[in-house]
Each structure stands twice: as C-alpha cells, then as structure tokens.
Structure 1
Amino acid sequence: MSIRKSLVYSYLDRYASLVVSIVSSMVIARVLTPEDIGVFSVTMVLISFVATVRDLGAGQYLIQEKELTTDRIRAVWAVQLGLGVFLAMVVLAASVPVSTFYKEPRMLNIMLVVAANYVINPFGSLTYAWQMREMRFDTLAIVRFSSTLVGGIVGVAMAWFGHGPISLAYGALGSTLVNAGMAIFFRPKDFPWLPGTKEIRRVLAFGSRLTGSSILQTVAGSAPELLLGKLQSMTAVGLFSRATGLVSMFNRIVLEGMNVVAISWFAKQSRQNESITPAFLTATSYASALGWAFCLGTVFLAHPTIHMMYGDQWGGAVDLTRVIALSLAVSLPSALCHPALMALGSVDRMLRVTTSTTVMTVVLVAIGSYFGLMAMGWCVVLAAALRSWVWLVAARKEVDFTWPALLSLSLGSAAVAGASAIGPLCAFVVYGPYPTEIWQPLLMGVPTAMVGFLVAVIGLKHPLLDELKPLWAKLRTYR
C-alpha cells in the first residue's frame, strides 16, 4: 500500500474513532463527577506501568525485522502470550495494596476488570503488528474503529445507569474483546498458533531495551496524575485529566495516525537501505504546522470548548488547558524522533535519551505538584521544551538532518499557524477569555481558523500543499 493511501486509511480510522470518543466523553463528563474521573485516571495511570511491558517490544520487533521467519513469529507469539497471563496476575495482586494506599476502594474493582484485558490482548497483538509491517491500514482501520465503537457504547451505557468510574473499565474490556476477535479473523492462515522459544533471545534482545525506554516514558507521562493524586486531590487529577484529554485530541487526530504510518514507512525504507531524512523532515513540517495551529486555537478558545464538550462543572480546567496546549506546542518539533529511531532499530540511543528526560520531567513535575495545579502545568511546559531539544539532538545523529533545514521548515509552519490563529484571537478579544456565550466564539473562531490555515498553506507554498493538490484534483473529478 502506498504511503498516501496508508495515511488516508489511518486518518479515517482516527477520525471515526475520535467522533465516537468525543461523543462518549461528552456524555460521561456529564454523568460522572471530576472525582469519579480522577479515581479512574489514577488507576489507569498506575496500570499503564504494567501496559508498557505487555509484549516487551515483541510487536515492534516483528515490524522492523528484516528477515522474518516462522521461528521468529513463534517467538513473538510466545512473548506476547506469556506476558499477557503474567501481567494479569500482577494487576490482580496489586489491586488490594493500591486501593489501600490511595484509600479508595473503587480502585480495587477497576483493577480486577482491567486485569482481564491482559489475558485477552495477546490474541490481537500479533496480527496487529503483522498488519503494521505489511502496511495494511485498511484492515487496521476496520478493527480499530469497531473496537472503539463497542468500547464507547459499553462505557456510556454503564455510566448512564449509575455504575460510576468502573464503567470506563468495562468499556475498555469490551473494546479489547472485539479487537481480539476481529484480529483472529484477519490473522494470516500460515501464521503458527503454537508459540516457540527457538528465536526468543533475539526477540527479547531487541524488545527489552525498547521496553526499558517505554517504561521510562510511562513514568514521565504518569508523574503529573500520580503526584497530584497524592499531594493535592482526586478532583485536581480529574481536572488535569480533562485538560490533557482535550489537548491530546491532536495526538489522536494527527500524530497517532502519522506515527503509525511513519514507523512502518521508515522501517520499510530502512530494510531497503534508503534514507529516511526527507520523509522525516516533511512529516515534521506537517506535524508542526497542524499542531501549532491547533495549540493557538486551543489557547484562545479553551473556555467555550471545555464548556461545550464537558459542561459547566469542568470550568476549573480552562486555564490549565491553555497551559497544557503550550506544552504540546514546544514538543511538536521532535514528534517524529521516536518513531524514526524505533524504525531504525536505535533502541540503545532511545533508552539513553528516555532515561535522562524522564529524570528531568519527574523532578520538575514533583516541584510543580507541591505548589498546586497551575504550577505543575507550567512545569510540564518546561519539561516538554527540554525533552524536545534532547530528542532532536539524539535523532539528528541517526537521521542526519541539518539544523538549518529543520529551522526553515519550522518557520514556514509557524507562519501558517499564525495565520490560522487570527480568527480565534479575534474571538478571544471580542468575547473575552471567559465568555458567557459558548457558541458565538466558536462560530467566529473555528471556521476562520480553517480558512486562514488553508490560505497560508497555499500562499506560502508550505509542504502540506503537496498533499492538498492531489486531494483537490480528486474532488474535482466528482463534480
């Protein structure tokens, strides 16, 4: 499948799933309280440490392996299946101590439900990795959207009928069941069902270093919610979770789809001994232009967006949302560094970078959490900026891009984002930072942002124009 077609399917999947997630989030935010959301968020953050080792990087090994044999496939399956059962037992064993530590009995039942995910998940993981390797994003889109839809329906239904934060856990379980069932259906007929250990050392040699990096990234990403839950309150965690949830929509709209295709595409180029530098720089320019436009729009329209999507009880998350948007903005230049290094198999360098950035992030977040929610938000921004620089320096040694080339593309992306922000800025000035109206600022800011973005891309001949031209040509054929 071509890179452009892969991106189309990847984004169709993300956008369709995003619609389901937004609708379910809007309902759940009006049914559950900030404290309910906080309880579930802290629980899932704790479990995310376990999730980072759920297949020890075996799936990523399968994607980048140049010579894939039956024995190596058996080894990947053995790692995934064995770890799934083991990690389920770990979650079960930790459920009582965790709920006791946070003095929150609801966390116990949530962990019991989530433990089942780890037993079921391996039945989908192997097929998912193979489809990524073969760039079969059409099949992946079907599987992912179906599982997201079922998960959203289950979660909303249970929350609606008063089951509290455990509703979200049951939604995740429903999603995992559907994902595993469909993955078995699409599993290649020649894939072995019996696990094997003949090549397991080769798989673990790659995966253990990648997993070490993933664990440290999870520590860095989880630190704000874990520290807020202990040093502040579950309500503070809920507000932080909702703020980051809104900002992270950009990850779901753009970065996740781009990164999934980028890893597969970079790995394919690497297997064919081709340079990934042009693709890396182009993808980075796409991410920065779209991301900076999103961040500026979020800063100016955070208040009406929060109230429209989640309701009045989440007004305390507005200012934090603006700050978290800035942390996304400073991280965007390095957005493709991780998938590039992973595709090139540079797991040792990834581990070194992740170790240093994790220590720095946890220290800064701990300091901020002690002083309060907003202080922690600004520490997240500082940590993101430093982390972005370190990743760029590390990636440059492998990808071999030049600083002037990256700067030139970044300035063009900044100009496009600035043009897109004119409309949201006008709405901010006219209606104020905390408007009593909800729809008027959005109706003024969102359409004008889209127009400004398109005009700037065309006028400045940004690299995104190369993607818009084929789309426009295809649309004209339907006239």
Structure 2
Amino acid sequence: MSRVRKALLHSSLSQYGARLIGLATTMIVARLLTPEEIGVFAIASAIVTVLSEFKLLGAADYLIREKELSEQKIRQALGLTVLISWGLGITVAFSGVTVAGFYNVEAIETLFYILSINFFLAPFISIPIALVNREFNFRLVLLVNFAGSVASLVSTIVLIKMGFGYYALAWALAVKTLIELLVVLFSSESSLYWKPSFSNVKEIAIFGFYNSGSNLLKRGVKIIPDLVIGKMGTPAQVGLFSRGLGFVDFIAGTLFMGVSPVVLPYLSEVKREQGNILDAYTRAVLMLSAVIWPVLTVAAIASLPTIRIFFGPQWDAAAPVASFMALWLILRTTHNFSNNLLVAVDRERLMLFKELIILVAAVALVIISFPLGLNAVAGSFLVLGVIEIGLVSWILRNALGLKVMKFFGALLPNVIISIVCGLATWAISFVVPFSADNAWKPVGAIALCLPIIWLTSLFLLRHPLATELGFLFRRTIARSS
C-alpha cells in the first residue's frame, strides 16, 4: 500500500498544483473578459470538449488495465489513438463554419481552427503518461501538469493584454499542449513510441468505444446546459451558468483530480490480485466523499461571497446557480468511481448504458426547465442527481453484487460531517453577513473555522480518513526529527 500512498501524494501535488494555477487563470480572465466574451468561448470549447473524449478512444485506460503488456500492444494503442485523434482534429477544423452559422457567432470558426491543434499532439502525450500511471509513477505527471499549467497562465494573460480577447483562451490551450509534449519528450522517465501500428487494433477499439463513449456522455451532462442555453438563450446567459457550474465543478474537480488518476490502477491491481474489489470501491468512495461532501455543502451555502471574492460582483447572478450545482455534485459524486470499477471488471458496456440514460434525462430536464430561468435549470439537476444515484446503485447491485444498504451505511459518517459543516457555515452568516460588500470577511471566517470543525468531526466519529491523516502526520514528524 505504500506504493499507492506515494502515487496519491505525487498525483495530488500534480493535480492540485495545476488546479491552483488554473484558478488563478480563471480569476484573472473573469476580470479581463466580459460574460459575453467568455460565453462565446464556452460554446466553442463545449463542442470541442465533446469530441475530445474520443481522441484517445480509451487507449490509455486499456494500457493501464491490461494484465500483460507488449511493445506491439503499446504501438497498436498509439496507432489507434493517432487515427482517431487526427481524424477528429481534421473534423474540428473543417466544421467550424457550420457550427458558427448554427449559433450565428462568427468567431467560433476561428476558435475551432485553433482548438483543433490539440488533437494532433495528444497521442504522443497520452501513451507515455498511461505507461507511467500503470506503474504508479506519477512524478512525470506532476512535471507535465505543472509545466502545462504555468504555460497556459502566462500565455493567457499575455495574449489577452495584446488584444486577442477570447482567442487568447484557445491559443493558451495550444501552448499548454505543446509544452506538455516537450516535457514528455525530454523526460528520462517516459518511454517514447513514435512508430504507431495500425494492424489488429480491433480489441483496443472495442474497449475504447465503450470507454470513450461513456466518458463523452458523462462529460456531456455538464456541457448540455451550455449548448441548450446557447441556442435557446444568449451568450451572456451561457457565461453566467457556465461560471456558476464551473466554480463548484472546479472545487469538486480539484479534490477528485488528486485521487482519480490512481483509482483505476488501484482497482485493476486489486482485481489482478483477486482481492475484494467492492470493498476497495466502497473504501475509495468513503475516503474521498469525506472531503468533498463537506466542501460542496459549504460552497452551496456560501456561494455568493465566494464567487464575489474570486470573480467579482459582476458574476453575482451565478451564485444561485452555483448553490444548486454544488448540491447536485454531492449526489453525483456518490458513485463517481463507478466507471473505474466497471472498467476494472471488464463491464464497459454497462458503463455506456448508464451514461446514456443520464445524458438523455439531463437534456430533457434542461429543455423543460429553461423557460423558467437559469435557476430552474440548475434546480432540475437535483432531480438528475437522484436519478443517477438510483440507476448506478441498481446496476452495481445486479451486475457486481454490491450490497446497497451496506454501501450507503458506510457513507453515513460523511453525511453527518457534511451537516455539521453546513450548520457551522450557516451560523457564520449571522455573524458575518454573506451579502456584505467585503466578501473577504465571510470567506476568511469560513476558511479559519471550517477546517477545525471538519477535522474535529472526523476524529470524533473515528473516521478511517482520520486514521490516514494520523499516519501521515506521524510519518512527517518522524522524518523531520
């Protein structure tokens, strides 16, 4: 298990560092561009993001999951990735005119040309990263993410100051990808494969179809509001909803991203060693939701001052959206590792089935609720969250034998901790009003009080995460002495 802990440390440093730099970038952009400008880029990037889920076609996860790897399998994975990713890059470049006409936003055509660059570089980054992830070596990932994030931050600011507007955001993504490729190229820890093999890739393609299709549909749930609102409403409305969702998704993603890259290798290893994979899954959910549920609960209650301090008062209308979406993410993260579990046990088809149902429900809810306003759209996602929990629990019970009541019983301490943190945040609002102009005061009070309350709750409930934190603390003290 020490290898897993080390991987978690490097992965967390990598992902959290990149997220902090990303937060700085977002805060700066929110002050340099208008909601309408950000809305234009959000429409373009949402569509490209949908296509980008297919650019690797699951080849990276295939390499991580396989029991035995040969050089031929690696080259086949690269070959399939090149075929799909380059094909999508060409598709993006040539579809810009059509999409720009559909949304009646001329700038989307140029944005598509710029965003297509990433598709041609991605294969030569993803395969080396997958190979080091398989071995729980996340040092290279740390270097790649840090270098790419810094490059994105610097290029975004410089290009906006030079007058590129929303085009700066697209060019910054291209610069980020190029820098990541250079880090992989010159790293001694990565194994480079430049000669793809295009023969006998059917096995990887079948796996990739289900894996990438599922990832596409899962990400599509967050993108659907941008696409529907962009057609039925205005770019400014897209910008406001995108900022509200993006804010809480940033928080959830920051906490998840440190752990998520390790989950599939961890569950796959448990499966290869014939361990109890359902117990491993339950423990993974228990440990992470002990952090993410309380944080999202606090974010839901204190969305207004937090958005003001990060993005400025021009985004106040995004605060109610953020509150609803934070509650939705609490529901959604209950089974956030279910796709990793299904991949580890070779049940990718079920993964695609569940994501398709959830996406269809999301589309229907957004279209029905939009005439009632952005807050109604955000509120409809609570219904979606309940649907998702019920569906995934049913699938895991029938396909893998998950004991649903035992699973939710294990998560009860996390519910208690979240309620305690939520009540504490609500109490702070009476002492330091959240609607006050000085947003830093309530945010500062929350930042000072809530970590203590959260830690105290963990130890009083004798949560397994408290044991892990105690282990890390003792180990740190032992090393420093």
Both structures adopt the same fold (TM-score exceeding 0.5): yes
Partner of 1:462: 463
Q: Which residue of 2 aligns with 1:381?
A: 382
Question: Higher mean Cα deviation, 71-80 or 184-193?
Answer: 184-193
Residues 433, 442 of structure 2: 8 Å contact kept: no
1:28-107 to 2 correspondences below 5 Å: 28-107=29-108
RMSD between superposed Cα atoms in Å: 1.8
CA distance in 1, matches of 2:398, 2:468: 29
What residue number does 2:178 align with? 177
Change over 3 Å in CA distance of 1:388–1:409 after alignment to 2: same
Matched, 1:12 2:10: no
Do the aligned partners of residues 142 and 192 (structure 1) sit closer, same or farther apart at CA in structure 2, a change above 3 Å counting? closer
Q: Which residue of 1 aligns with 2:371?
A: 370
SS in structure 2 at match of 1:248? helix
Which residue in 2 is equivalent to 1:289?
290
User: Distance in 2 between the 1:474 and 1:441 partners?
Assistant: 35
Query: Deviations 1:103-128 (Å, cap 9, x if unpaired)?
Result: 11121111111111111111101111
Segment of structure 1 superposing worse, 447-456 or 340-349: 340-349
Alignment of 1:205-244 (within 5 A): 205-244=206-245
> Any idea what SS the aligned residue of 1:111 has?
helix
Alignment partners' CA distance in 2, 1:196 and 1:74: 5
Structure 1 partner of 2:194 = 193
* Counterpart residue number, 2:391: 390
Give the Cα–Cα distance (whole angstroms) in 2 for the partners of residues 325 and 103 of structure 1: 32
The whole-number CA distance in structure 2 between the counterparts of 1:278 and 1:446 is 34
Q: Is contact 1:64–1:345 with CA below 8 Å preserved after alignment?
A: no
8 Å CA contact retained: 1:31, 1:159: yes
Compared CA separation, residues 329 and 89, structure 1 to 2 (3 A): same
Task: State whether structure 2 residue 110 is matched by structure 1 residue 109.
Answer: yes
SS for the counterpart of 2:67 is coil
Q: Secondary structure at the match of 1:194?
A: coil
| Aligned CA distance change for structure 1 residues 14 and 212 (closer, same or farther; 3 Å) | closer
Distance 1:474 1:420 in 2: 28
> Residue in 2 aligned with 1:268?
269
1:159 alignment partner in structure 2: 160
State the partner residue of 2:477.
476
When structure 1 is superposed on structure 2, of 19-28 and 184-193 the one drifting more is 184-193
- The verdict on how the C-alpha distance between 1:361 and 1:410 changes in structure 2, with shifts beyond 3 A counting, is same
Structure 1 residue 412 displacement after superposition: 0.5
> Is the CA contact 1:424–1:449 (under 8 Å) kept in the aligned structure 2?
yes
Question: Could you tell me how far apart the structure 2 residues matched to 1:394 and 1:242 are?
Answer: 33
8 Å Cα contact 1:334-1:389 kept in structure 2? no
Q: Is the 8 A contact 1:159 1:167 kept in 2?
A: yes
Distance 1:473 1:207 in 2: 43
Matches within 5 A, 1:423-438: 423-438=424-439
Q: Which runs of 4+ in 1 moved over 6 A?
A: 187-190
Partner in structure 1 of residue 255 of structure 2: 254
Q: How many residues align?
A: 479
Whole-angstrom CA distance in 2 between matches of 1:251 and 1:187: 33
Mapped to 1, the partners of 2:236 and 2:42 lie a distance apart of 11
**Contact residue 37 and residue 238 of structure 1 kept, 8 A:** yes
SS of the residue aligned with 1:80?
A: helix
Q: Which residue of 2 aligns with 1:317?
A: 318
What does residue 445 of structure 1 align with?
A: 446
Contact 2:252–2:296 (Cα < 8 Å) also in 1:
no
Partner deviation per Cα, 1:8-38 (whole Å, 9 max, x = no partner): 1111112211221111111110000000111
Q: What CA deviation, in whole Å up to 9, does each residue of 1:269-294 have, x standing for no partner? A: 22222222222111111222212211
Structure 1: how far apart are the matches of 2:249 and 2:99? 27
State the shift of 1:405 in Å: 2.4
Long gaps (5+) in structure 2:
none
Identity of aligned residues (%): 24
* Contact 2:184 2:190 (8 Å CA) reproduced: no
Q: Distance in 1 between matches of 2:100 and 2:302?
A: 38
**Contact 1:135–1:264 at 8 Å: present in 2 too?**
yes
Q: Is the 8 A contact 1:323 1:377 kept in 2?
A: yes
Give the Å deviation of 1:220.
Answer: 2.5
Shift of 1:130: 1.0
Change (3 A) 1:125 1:113: same
CA contact (8 A) 1:98 1:107 kept: yes
CA spacing shift, 1:188–1:50, aligned 2, 3 Å? same
Cα 1:399–1:2 shift into 2, 3 Å: farther
1:398: how far off? 4.8
Cα contact 1:38–1:234 (8 A) shared by 2: yes
Structure 1 residue 172, shift from structure 2 partner: 0.6
Q: By how many angstroms is 1:345 displaced?
A: 2.3
Secondary structure at the residue paired with 1:11?
Answer: helix
The change in CA–CA distance for 1:12 and 1:399 in structure 2 (over 3 A counts) is farther
Per the TM alignment, residue 187 of structure 1 is displaced from its structure 2 partner at its CA by 7.2
Amino acid at match of 2:78: W
Q: Secondary structure at the match of 2:275?
A: coil
After TM superposition, the score normalised by the length of structure 1 is 0.96
Q: Deviations along 1:362-420, whole A, 9 cap, x unmatched? A: 11111122322111101122112211221222233455432232222221011122222
Map of 2:121 onto structure 1: 120
Determine the structure 2 residue equivalent to 1:2: 3
Post-superposition offset of 1:177: 0.4
Worse overlay, 426-435 or 386-395: 426-435
Q: Which residue of structure 2 lines up, in the alignment, with residue 168 of structure 1?
A: 169
Asked if structure 1 preserves the Cα contact closer than 8 Å seen for 2:281 and 2:337, the reply is yes
Instruction: Say whether the 8 Å CA contact 1:63–1:132 is kept in structure 2.
Output: yes
In 1, distance between residues paired with 2:254 and 2:221?
23
User: How big is each residue's C-alpha offset from its partner over 1:222-271, in whole Å with a ceiling of 9 and x where there is no partner?
Assistant: 21110111111111110111111210123332112222111111112222
Offset of residue 218 of structure 1:
3.6
* Aligned position for 1:404: 405
Secondary structure in 2 matching 1:2:
helix
In 2, distance between residues paired with 1:49 and 1:439? Answer: 36
CA deviation map 1:51-100 (0-9, x unaligned): 11102111111111112122211110101112222111101111111111
Closer/same/farther in 2, CA of residues 188 and 201 from structure 1, 3 Å limit: farther
Q: Where in structure 1 are there 5+ consecutive unaligned residues?
A: none
Query: Which residue of structure 2 aligns with residue 133 of structure 1?
Result: 134
